[in-house]
Amino acid sequence: MATAVIRSFSEKFPLLALKISPHVHDSLGNTTLVAEGEGFRIFRDLAPHHKNSGQFLEAGALLSFFMETGDVHLAEAIEVFMAVCNPMNRPVICESGALGNLCEPGISIFISHPDDNLPAHKLTSMRLSDLVIPAKLFSTPGIIDRILFTENKWHLLPA
């Protein structure tokens, strides 16, 4: 979903991509560390690779980042990300299971597998989302057609 949104909108204006993960990754692809603090690290992707953030570059993101942090340090990590990685305040496409619990994204899309037995924090994310989609039942083009970016804000049109 994230790569489809990036592919569609990067043709219209430059945007950044961010993948947030609560656990440390051993293999990050071709990246460089751009910021770190207590409980978080932020990496910039230098070239496309097989991980999500590398795929975001391939899809057309101007810059793509990978953030390792748990919920406890997420607020500080996002502040650092915006200051260090996005000083121009460009639109951001973010793939995260927890960001919607911290702030209100322009649009929050939750993709769920029908067999998921979701923990409480993911159920909260799902309830806060603008759109909940079963993983096997959605049409990426159908959703992309409902997304607009106007007046520096993301909007989701009704179905």
| pLDDT given for residue 144 in this prediction | 92
| pLDDT given for residue 64 in this prediction | 97
Task: Decide if 62 contacts 15 (C-beta within 8 A).
Answer: yes
| pLDDT given for residue 139 in this prediction | 77
Say what the alpha-carbon torsion angle 82, 1, 144, 137 is, to the nearest 10 degrees.
-150
pTM of the model: 0.91
Cα separation, 17 vs 133, in Å, equals 21
| pLDDT given for residue 104 in this prediction | 83
| pLDDT given for residue 149 in this prediction | 95
Collect the ranges in the chain with pLDDT lower than 50: none
Token pair belonging to 18? 């961010």
Cα separation, 90 vs 57, in Å, equals 15
Token pair belonging to 17? 């991509």
| pLDDT given for residue 65 in this prediction | 97
Q: How far is CA 57 from CA 2, 5, 93, in A?
A: 11, 12, 12
Q: Which amino acid is at 151?
A: E
